[in-house]
Chains A and B, each alone.
Chain A
Amino acid sequence: MNPFGTFIQLLVDGLAQGSIYGALALAIVLVNQATGLVNFAQGGMAVLGSYIGLTIGNLLIPGVGSTLGVVLGIVAAVIASLALGGVVERFVMRRFERAEEDTKVVATIGLLTLITGLVGLIWGFNPTPYPFFFGGSESLRIGDVSISVWSIVTFTTIVALMVVLQILFRGTKFGLGMRAVADNAPSAALAGIRVGGLRMAGWGLAAALGTVAAILLASKSQLTPNNFDGILVYALAAVVIGGLDSPIGAVVAALGITILESLAAAYIPWIGHDLKVVVPFVLVFVVLIIRPQGLFGRRAVVRV
């Protein structure tokens, strides 16, 4: 392959992988908008949602991997996640309403542990294949560069979700209410905004979004209870770099991090594959110093 082809291939792969990070980052932004906190259990909830989808899909249409079963499974997973997110907010996080921010964050970490354990208990820790309804390994060739169908579907889905969320936040009453709640919930309530309801909706939407990302990821690799643990690091980095309140920022940052990381691994000899994971940390560090509210955000990160 010529050097230019290699470069383009890196970009294309980075865009697809980065989309997954971006989707989880979007979910984190959404929860942050609704509740002002960072949900460390976001990835765990996503994995739980996709297991539920797989199980329901297989129950409805027996015979692993029938296209209809997979599609129904995805629909079921999204609905189940909406409910799961709402329930977690209402019955777990609501109890910490008056607690310190740090306590709430620790609560979400506890939630992650709990959910991962629960998933392992029910479905086991062995990787489960997740059928992909677009035909997993097919790809297009353009010159030297090969683009998998999976990459195209993933990238398109995430960009579409990002656009929808951006419009939701900046252009709708629902989004305005969410941002008011994130900013100052008691004051938002004085304006008649139903804080509890909006928070449940925000958690539900975020969980559904995370589940879509988890399904896309699992259909490329496989499903395991800790599928998203490593990805959470990238998603958090993307959120910090892009801005906690900016859907576009989160996705662009996720794509940027992934591409920069793979370029650094390929072209800077002393980084290579062993050290490439430091790239997101360096980026986070630099952004926090020059622009604490994130490249696209309006709100400063006060503490993480």
Chain B
Amino acid sequence: MPLLELVDVTAFYGPVQVLDGVSISVPEGGAVGILGANGAGKTTTLRAISGTVRAGGTIRYRDRSIRGLKPERVASLGIAHVPEGRGTLGNLTVRENLMVGAYLRKDHRQVATDVEYLLDLFPNLRERIRSNASALSGGEQQMLAVSRAFMAKPRLLILDEPSLGLAPSTARNVYDAIGRLRRESGIAMLVVEQNANLAFSVVDSVTVLETGRSVLSGTTAELRGDDDIRRAYLGG
């Protein structure tokens, strides 16, 4: 039984339907990528999971339906969503942002340990620990957003284009850290990305979306090997 399973999911902004049959399955401890062009519905798919857009179809997490739950409820079940545009809290300090991530946790000692772990992983954040998040660079904000989500000790981390707006080398650093988080913690991940090469560095399998529909899925090895698919969907 997968950790998260989407079957024929639909989603609507007001009356406008933007998803029409998205199916994805994330195994316990696995990492899945969602690829697709601008406007394909990647962000909306993540929103359907975290309860921030009206959705239809089947969304099951740990064998129960989570469709229609409020975002705070979904978060409390162990799903941490790093939204498109990062969602860092600009007027709060870096440390406060991390503590917001740990809002639902009761294991205070472990929280402190996790903060240290993340500050070792992202030394930039350690230097800026008392700065307001709004004063950070784009790359640092993305690191903070990922760290904040990790502070929730989730079972499933969902990341919406962590490379957005970053210089290639910074994006690379962010993905290296995400890969390390995955190896060291074993949490499952669902990662939206436009840059297939970056996504492939952390995920085991990929689903491709086209105009609100899943059109293709497979393991990274299969997709990498297939030249036609590479050309059509993965930018060469």
Interface, chain A (partner B; CB < 8 A): 173, 176-177, 179-180, 182-184, 186-195, 245, 298-299
Complex CA–CA separation, A195 to B132 (angstroms): 22
8 Å CB interface, B87-117 against A: 87-92, 96, 99-101, 103-104
- Interface residue B70 (Cβ < 8 Å from any Cβ of A): yes
- Given A192-B72, A192-B75: A180 in contact with B100 (beta carbons within 8 A): yes
Specify which chain B residues have a CB less than 8 angstroms from the CB of A298 in the assembled complex: 91, 132
Report which of A182, A183, A193 forms a contact with B72, defined as CB distance below 8 A: A193
Q: How far is the CB of A178 from chain B (nearest CB, A)?
A: 11
Q: Is B194 in the interface zone, CB < 8 Å from A?
A: no
Q: Given contacts A176-B100, A193-B100, A193-B103, are A188 and B89 in contact (CB under 8 A)? A: yes
- B81 in the interface (beta carbon within 8 A): yes
For B77, the closest partner residue in chain A by CB is A192
Partner of B87, one of A190, A192, A195, A245: A190
B124 on the A face (CB < 8 A): no
Contact A190 B81, beta carbon cutoff 8 Å? yes
Additional pairs, 6, CB under 8 Å, beyond known A179-B91, A183-B92, A190-B52: A177-B100, A187-B89, A190-B71, A190-B83, A191-B104, A194-B72
Q: Name the residue in A179, A188, A190, A193 with the highest tally of chain B Cβ atoms < 10 Å from its Cβ.
A: A190
Residues of A within 8 A of B132 (CB): 298
B152 touches A192 (CB 8 A): yes
Q: CB of B42 within 8 A of chain A? A: no
B80 at the interface (CB under 8 A from A): yes
Q: Which residues of B contact A186 (CB under 8 A)?
A: 52, 71, 83, 87
Given contacts A176-B99, A180-B100, contact A187 B87 (CB under 8 A): yes
B contact residues around A195 at 8 Å (CB): 72
Is B50 in the interface zone, CB < 8 Å from A?
Answer: yes
B23 to chain A, nearest CB (A): 24
Q: How far is the CA of A188 from the CA of B70 in the complex (A)?
A: 12
Q: How far is the CB of B112 from chain A (nearest CB, A)?
A: 15
**Could you tell me if A189 and B70 are in contact, using CB atoms closer than 8 angstroms?**
yes
What is the minimal beta-carbon distance from B142 to any residue of chain A, in angstroms? Answer: 14
In the complex, residue of chain B having the shortest beta-carbon distance to the beta carbon of A186: B52
* A186, B88: Cα distance in complex, Å: 11
B76 is an interface residue with CB less than 8 A from chain A: yes
Which among A182, A184, A191 is the interface contact of B103 at CB below 8 angstroms? A191
Counting chain B residues whose Cβ lies within 8 A of the other chain, the interface size class is: 20 to 34
Nearest A residue (CB) for B105: A192
Pairwise interchain contact A190-B50, C-beta atoms closer than 8 A: yes
Q: B96 — nearest CB in chain A belongs to which residue?
A: A176
A190, B80: Cα distance in complex, Å: 7
Q: Which of A173, A191, A245 has a CB less than 8 Å from the CB of B101? A: A191
A90 to B179, CA, bound (A): 43
List residues of B (121-142) whose CB comes within 8 Å of A's CBs: 132
- B71 proximity list for chain A (CB < 8 A): 186, 189-190
Residues of A within 8 A of B92 (CB): 176, 179-180, 183
Given the interface pairs A176-B99, A176-B103, the reply to whether A191 lies near B91 with Cβ below 8 Å is no
**Shortest Cβ gap from A202 to chain B (Å):** 16
Measured CB to CB, the nearest residue on chain B to A300 is: B91
Residues of B contacting A177 with CB < 8 Å? 100, 103
B148 within 8 A of A: yes
Quote the shortest CB–CB distance from B58 to chain A (angstroms): 22
From residue B106, how far is it (CB to closest CB) to chain A in Å?
11
The 4 A-B pairs of least Cβ separation, nearest first, read A187-B87, A192-B75, A189-B71, A183-B89
A192 x B91 contact (CB < 8 A): no
In whole Å, how far is B162's beta carbon from the nearest beta carbon of chain A? 15
A179-B72 CB under 8 A given contacts A191-B152, A192-B103: no
Most chain B CB within a 10 A radius of its CB, from A186, A189, A191? A191
Q: Are A191 and B96 in contact (CB under 8 A)?
A: no
Q: A198 to nearest B CB, angstroms?
A: 10
CA distance A83 to B101 in the complex (A): 30
Interface centre among A177, A184, A187 (most CB of B within 10 A): A187
Distance, CA A194 to CA B104, complexed state (A): 10
Can you pick out 14 interface pairs between chain A and chain B where the beta carbons lie within 8 Å of each other? A176-B99, A177-B100, A180-B103, A187-B83, A187-B87, A188-B89, A189-B70, A190-B83, A191-B103, A191-B104, A192-B152, A193-B100, A193-B103, A298-B91
- By the criterion CB–CB under 8 Å, are B75 and A190 in contact? yes
B108–chain A nearest beta-carbon distance, Å: 10
Select one of B70, B91, B104 contacting A183, CB under 8 A. B91
Picked from B76, B90, B96, the residue with its CB within 8 Å of the CB of A192 is B76
B-chain residues with CB within 8 Å of residue A194 when the two chains form the complex: 72
Residues in chain A near residue B91, CB distance under 8 A: 179, 182-183, 245, 298-299
Tell whether, in the assembled complex, residue A191 and residue B70 are in contact, meaning their CB atoms are under 8 Å apart: no
* A67–B174 alpha-carbon span in the complex (Å): 66
Chain B neighbourhood of A187, CB < 8 A: 83, 87-89
B146-157 interface code vs A (CB 8 A; 1 in, 0 out) = 001000100000
